[in-house]
Chain A
Amino acid sequence: MALLEVKDLRTSFRTEDGVVRAVDGVSFSVEKGQTLGIVGESGSGKSVTCLTIMGLNSRRNTISSGEALWKGKDLLSAKPSQLRKIRGDEMSMIFQDPMTSLNPVHTIGKQLVEAVQLHRDVTVRVAKARALELLKAVGIPKAEARIDDYPHQFSGGMRQRVMIAMALINDPDLLIADEPTTALDVTTQAQILNLMKRLQDDFGSAIIMITHDLGVVAETADDVVVMYAAKVVEHAKVHDLFQRPQHPYTWGLMGSLPRLETDTERLVQIPGQPPSLLRPPNGCRFHPRCPYVMGVCRTKEPQLVGAERDPSHLQACHLDAETKDREGSKLVDATMAETV
């Protein structure tokens, strides 16, 4: 049994302008100890997917359907009190902006102790010892002295380490990381990613890594889900995705990665804007921006199905297998030529 199995998840928000379908029929599963990368542009629904799984969407204007089976039990239909027991204990989450994710009026020690005591019936002393242990594990220098400091006394990278410590403090089975390195500078990003990898080995947690950065996915993930406009457009093992990308959107993402070796002065970009989720385009949602667009793309929505050559490589595109393989490998060859 998969640790987490998401089936046909849909989340919409009621707004004054109408219903926004932020997540529209997303399915994937996460195995124990594995890392799933979810890639997509801003507003593609990757964060909302995970907030829905965690039950952290504001309840009033949100409608969710589908299933998110956690160890076989559906989280979407679970009572708030049951969800609360799972959150922060079996399943935890770190967020994009470490500068605002910690409460400014409490010491980090207090916030870590709270995380322990919400789920374990232990004394403050025991909880604090555990907090100290985690702060050392995430590499906070002079952790004994710093445990009583307030968040504003830490740098962004250090705060993200504290957030990671807080997320791992109860030894969760799944850690959801929502763009954990986006707000950090490049050297700190690498440190945080390395730290997460090392801790995954130590703690054995599964990770869902939400990012818009294919580089982060290549480095950390086992499986990759590519999302576009609230839907999954491609889903494959990380190796397969980078070897034989099947979807024009994925090609666009890969083509827009900056490379040191090429002479091109400008980055390649995907033309146009992501569509409004209030009124998504008919047919394939990527068709207005797709350089390979055909007549059928405008009218018929492609289903997420296995590629002809590899049924485990899911993709949603009307192009014939031959074109996909040809265009995909052209891109990969170009990339390889540059890196060799």
Chain B
Amino acid sequence: MSAVEVRGLVKRFGDVEAVRGIDLDVAAGETFGFLGPNGAGKSTTIAMLCTLLRPDAGSARVAGHDVVAERDDVRRNIGLVFQDPTLDGYLSAEQNLRFHAELYGVPKALVPERMRLVLEMVGLWERRGSLVQTYSGGMKRRLEIARGLLHAPRVLFLDEPTVGLDPQTRASIWGYIEELKAAEDITIFVTTHYMDEAEHADRIAIMDQGQIIALDTPEALKAAVGKDRVVLQVDDDDAAIAALRERFGLEATIAEGHVTVAVEGGEAFVPRLFAELGVPIRGVSVARPSLDDVFMSYTGTTIRDAEAAGGPDPLMRMMVGR
């Protein structure tokens, strides 16, 4: 049975179609990465899967339960870690977890054992008595992850779990997620707009403008691109793009401020470039296809450029209400 099963899911906010009929299947035990720029519809999709928003069309089942008809059953079987903190800073970590255990009806006898397990997993057992307001941003996120796991959910939703954290903390959060996969019988559904982080997932769906534009393993997605990314630093971008078209028959674009072109066998291409381009070159870099290139090959833009162009997340506006 699939842990998450989505068919033709649609959500509109007024005239804006935030999610435009997506289909998804996530197998039990899988770590599924949900990727895309801010405003692509990831958070809206997650909110529907977590029963926080009602879909306008289509259906979704999570842990075997329909998100509309069996809302409470879905809620009992999922763990949620949001982008924004949802902890009570005036309570200690332990009190926050007790509150959660009680709300989710974790059997009393199991609470101490379970609490110790999740707090040790995120390295906060020693600090369990401290008020959460004394925690750093990274510690709070770790505590949220621990809390999301407390009731042993079958599916854990992590919505941008590493956003706004420093690189070390980001790496350690992914460390916990890997450990978690080894320790618990759990499906992990994680959204991120950091392409490098998506490599941790078993499979990835790339979402852009409300639609899923690619869905496969990271390796397969990258292999499908096939080409290396060659980035040129030149004084005259337009001349370089024109020369690439004329002499090599290549369509180059400007991505993140530099002329970028996808070529098979990038290293071998560099000597030819210097010999034949006819435009002064100040620097060249060659990179193997990354998920950024996957995104680019489908959308023609990098994820950072797409973000700069996109509007704010509609869900954020709704839920935070500010």
Asked if A pairs with B, the answer is no
